[in-house]
Amino acid sequence: MKPIFTAEAVHKSFNDPKNGVSLRALGGLSLEIRQGEFVSIIGPSGSGKTTLLYLLAGFLRPDSGKLLYRGEEVRGPSPERTVIFQEYGLFPWKTAAGNVEFPLKARCMPAAARRAEALKYISMVHLDGFADKYPHQLSGGMKQRVGIARALACDPKVVLMDEPFAALDNITRELLQEEILRLWSGLGKTFVLVTHHLEEAIFMSRRIILMSSRPGRVKEVVDIDLPEPRTADIKTHPRFVELKSRLTRSLREEVEKSIAAGIEPELVKDKGVIRVSR
């Protein structure tokens, strides 16, 4: 399958504003992500997972090395690559439909067409009847569904997700995992998920990229060869248990290295401000 992303010896560092020390987030990372696949990125805190996701989105650029999207260097954000964040990021003064319409308005789509498109994606995430509700009238799971609908309404080639379920309760989290997989299988887009939740990564992914302790590199890439379709009861399948055991051992090795080195969570530069990202 043709790669949609290719990273070759990518390095990325940030300066700590407190002491001026340069922190290496990524140290020669190389990988390929294939078109149309669902990939999860896991690793210990400080391994550069969020940094990598922001590089793929075009929010950041490598210090050295190459990062290619469809054979061309990533030079900045693109509507072909959309991001779903852990924070819902909804405009509180806009309805659910208004939030989904927002990126379509930026593309100068006529009002009637925007509304129709927004309602289509709201229906796709099973929020029929909630189009005219405001964020404060929605549960956390509903807000994230609106965020997903807004991301998909742009018709991107790639959906990048930065721990989108972290703030949700377990049941809502599982339901949204299944929802995302349903959408992925039906839309044929490339999904990349950053998560600390190992079971989530195994359940949702077709491949897992496991990052080393900082400076982050690819420690290993694991094919997730589980039966289809994926349902909640697959977590008791012998192959799931085997994969979880193997990945837990590998991840634990990197966490222990991070603890031994006293590595703090990575610093991610967001719109000119250094912030801590776990």
Q: What backbone phi and psi angles, to 5 degrees, belong to 24? A: -85, 110
- For residue 134, pLDDT over 70 is answered with yes
* Phi/psi at 121 (5° precision): -75, -30
Instruction: Please name the residues in contact with 67: beta carbons below 8 A apart, sequence gap of 6 or more.
Output: 5, 6, 7, 8, 10, 55, 56, 61, 73, 74
In the chain, the domains with their CATH numbers are 3-80+160-276 (3.40.50.300), 91-155 (no CATH)
* H/E segment holding residue 50: helix 49-57
104 vs 18 pLDDT, higher one? 104
Q: How many residues does the chain have?
A: 278
Q: List the one residue out of 167, 173, 178, 149 whose CA is nearest residue 38.
A: 178
Kindly report the pTM of this predicted structure: 0.88
> What average pLDDT does the segment 97-105 reach?
90
Beta bridge partners of 7: 31, 67
Band of residue 73 on the pLDDT scale cut at 50, 70, 90: very high
Q: Which of 11-20, 61-70, 80-89, 183-192 has the lowest mean pLDDT?
A: 11-20
pLDDT tens digits along 218-251: 999 999 999 988 888 999 999 999 999 999 999 9
Which pLDDT belongs to residue 170?
Answer: 87
Where is 180: in which H helix or E strand?
helix 170-187
273 band by pLDDT with thresholds 50, 70 and 90: very low
Give pLDDT, residue 263.
60
pLDDT at 274: 35
Q: Does the pLDDT of residue 166 top 60, yes or no?
A: yes
Quote the DSSP letter at residue 1: -
